[in-house]
Every structure is written in structure tokens, then in C-alpha cells.
């Protein structure tokens, strides 16, 4: 993995930003398990400009979380410039990333996220504004192919962004309209990579270590960003590194060890969020950790009722006592 701007990476494996998922606790787990770069959940530039106190914790980076980035979204030029400056001064990230890919209607239909793919001039002016606010910090962009299959604009936009001094592009191989349906088009990622001289990060349909190695080979990309493939499986980074190196891919650890990792994640989250919020969010995360485990229905139901760490410990003890899966001996 080459450097992005003046920031170097240990490996080409990046954790994608996901709202409600990639908080500081989960990013810590992923880094320990091999992610070479992590990035925050997307942060509203407008909320930063209006000094919304609920937004500031989203920018929190761990003490040892480097290299790491903060992702901002929006389309108001003044807010994007000011928001980038606030991120620079408050969070001190290595990189500031602009979200031009979020397909969620309330974001995209407002002209933010992938909504910028319908106005390339505006998208490029947003990039200029963020570069001004970011100062010396490298600025990157995460984007999709275009609004729909009749309007594939990724190549044109990527070339404009490179000309403006954007340090790297992450490209998800789907359109806004596709959301997460169908399959990601890796051909467009390859075309963009061939056309640019700045690093291009491949993203989309990476659900295993083999997928990570395959997308890098197929596209020639400089790195791979793993997003939904990490749900319940932060070990995917170890598996991806093994696949890239041509080594045997390690299996998932035993269920009891996966539970311990989940519990540690929730304890970390409770340290900087309220226990109540951490445990509410733990409900979906813990269910992901149990994906594919036979006879887990009862415990998934119990997980949906978690409201305290004591509940987490009680459920975990029950899971360890009663469940096993293919990764366990016997």
C-alpha cells in the first residue's frame, strides 16, 4: 500500500466508515486484528458548524489510532470548509475523507453523499472547500459509480478530484440507486485505477479474505476497504492478509473467544458512551457475532433485550455454556 499524501500504511486493508457500526470501540477491535487504517462514522459538516455537541464524540480517535481518518458529509461549501477546519483542530486526524457515496435517501436526496454524483461541478467545489479547511491534512473522497446505471460518472469525477489535489479515491462499485443490491462492478474500479496516478481503494462485495485478495488482483487497486464484510467478523482482516500473502487462511476462532471479543467491544463502548447506549448498540453487533451459529435463536432473542453490561455477561455465559459451532473442537 503506497502512502496517501504523507501518511504511510502498514498494509492495504482499510475499515470502511459505517454509521452506527464503526465507533471507536469497534475500530479498536479491528485495528488489533489487522486493519491498517480506520475511519470514523460519517460526521455532518453542518452539525459541526452549528456546534452540535452530540456530533463531537463521533470524531473521537483512540490514543493509538493512527493512521486514522475522520469522514465528513455535506454539500454546503462554507460548512464543508469550516467543518474540515473543526475536524483538523479538534480530532487531529491523519486524513479527512469526504463522503460522496452514502445512498441513504435522507442524505442523498438532500444533495449530500451520493447526491453529489448528480452535480459534478458542485462535487468538485465541495472538494476544494474541504481542502481549504483541512490545511496540510490530506483529503480523500469515498464515492460510488454514479447516481444510476445511465449516469456513470466515477471516471470523470475522479479525474477532476485528482486535478484538485485530492490525495486518494475510494470507489464502491455500485450506483446510488443500487444501494446494496446486485453485485459490485469491479470493472469500473479497474478503469479508474488505470486512469489515475493517485491511490485508488477498491470497495464492494468483500465478504471474505479471498474476496479481498481477488479484488486487489482484479482491479490493480492500491488497497481494499472492507465494510459490511466485517459485521461480526473483525477477523476478516487477518484472513485477508493471509489470502494476499498466499498463506493458509486462518479459521474463525472458537465461539467462546468470539464472545470474549464481543464483550470487550461493548465494554470499550461503555467507557465513552453511556452504558445504556453501548448496550442498545450491542444488540445488533452481538447478533452479528452469532451469525451462522446453529441453534442460536433463543440467545439472539435474549441479546435483543440487553440493556446493561450485566445482561451482556449473563447472555455470554449462557452462549458459552450451551452453544458451539464448526470452529469449536468436537
Task: Name the residues annotated as catalytic.
Answer: 102
Cis geometry, peptide bond prior to residue 126 (ω within 30 degrees of 0): no
Cell 459451532 appears where? 325
Q: Please answer whether residues 273 and 285 qualify as being in contact, where contact means their C-beta atoms are separated by less than 8 angstroms.
A: no
Query: b/e map of 271-295 (b: 16 or more CB within 10 Å)?
Result: eebebeebbebbbebbbebbeebee
Cell 462514522 appears where? 41
Tell me which DSSP letter residue 54 carries: T
Q: How far apart are CA 273 and CA 266, in angstroms?
A: 10
Q: How far apart are CA 271 and CA 266, in angstroms?
A: 9
Question: In three state form, how does the secondary structure of 74-102 look?
Answer: CCCHHHHHHHHHHHHHHCCCCEEEEEECC
Q: What is the largest CA-CA distance in the chain?
A: 61
Which residues, including other chains, have CB under 8 Å from residue 275's CB and lie 6 or more apart?
Answer: 308, 309
Amino acid at each position: 500500500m503506497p502512502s496517501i499524501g504523507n501518511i504511510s500504511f502498514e498494509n492495504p486493508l482499510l475499515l470502511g466508515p459505517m454509521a452506527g457500526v464503526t465507533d471507536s470501540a469497534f475500530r479498536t477491535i479491528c485495528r488489533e486484528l489487522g486493519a491498517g487504517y480506520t475511519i470514523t462514522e460519517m460526521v455532518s459538516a453542518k452539525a459541526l458548524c452549528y456546534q452540535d455537541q452530540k456530533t463531537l464524540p463521533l470524531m473521537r480517535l483512540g490514543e493509538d489510532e493512527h493512521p486514522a481518518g475522520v469522514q465528513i458529509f455535506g454539500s454546503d461549501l462554507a460548512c464543508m470548509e469550516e467543518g474540515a477546519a473543526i475536524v483538523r483542530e479538534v480530532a487531529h486526524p491523519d486524513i479527512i475523507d469526504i463522503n460522496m457515496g452514502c445512498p441513504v435517501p435522507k442524505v442523498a436526496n438532500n444533495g449530500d453523499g451520493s447526491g453529489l454524483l448528480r452535480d459534478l461541478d458542485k462535487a468538485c467545489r465541495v472538494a476544494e472547500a474541504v481542502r481549504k479547511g483541512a490545511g496540510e491534512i490530506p483529503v480523500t473522497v469515498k464515492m460510488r459509480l454514479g447516481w444510476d446505471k445511465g449516469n456513470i460518472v466515477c471516471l470523470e469525477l475522479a479525474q477532476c478530484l485528482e486535478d484538485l489535489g485530492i490525495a486518494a479515491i475510494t470507489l464502491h462499485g455500485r450506483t446510488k440507486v443500487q444501494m446494496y443490491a446486485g453485485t459490485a462492478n469491479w470493472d469500473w474500479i479497474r478503469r479508474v485505477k488505470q486512469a489515475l496516478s493517485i491511490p485508488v481503494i477498491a470497495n464492494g462485495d468483500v465478504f471474505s479474505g479471498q474476496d479481498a485478495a481477488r479484488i486487489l488482483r482484479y482491479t490493480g487497486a492500491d488497497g481494499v476497504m472492507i465494510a459490511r464484510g466485517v459485521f461480526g467478523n473483525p477477523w476478516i482482516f487477518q484472513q485477508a492478509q493471509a489470502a494476499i500473502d498466499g498463506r493458509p487462511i486462518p479459521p474463525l476462532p472458537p465461539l467462546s473467544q468470539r464472545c470474549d471479543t464481543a464483550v470487550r467491544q461493548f465494554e470499550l463502548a461503555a467507557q465513552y458512551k453511556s452504558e445504556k447506549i453501548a448496550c442498545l448498540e450491542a444488540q445488533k453487533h452481538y447478533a452479528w457475532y452469532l451469525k451462522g451459529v446453529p441453534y442460536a435463536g433463543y440467545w439472539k432473542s435474549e441479546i435483543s433485550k440487553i440493556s446493561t453490561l450485566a445482561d451482556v455477561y449473563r447472555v455470554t455465559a449462557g452462549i458459552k455454556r450451551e452453544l458451539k459451532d464448526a470452529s469449536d473442537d468436537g
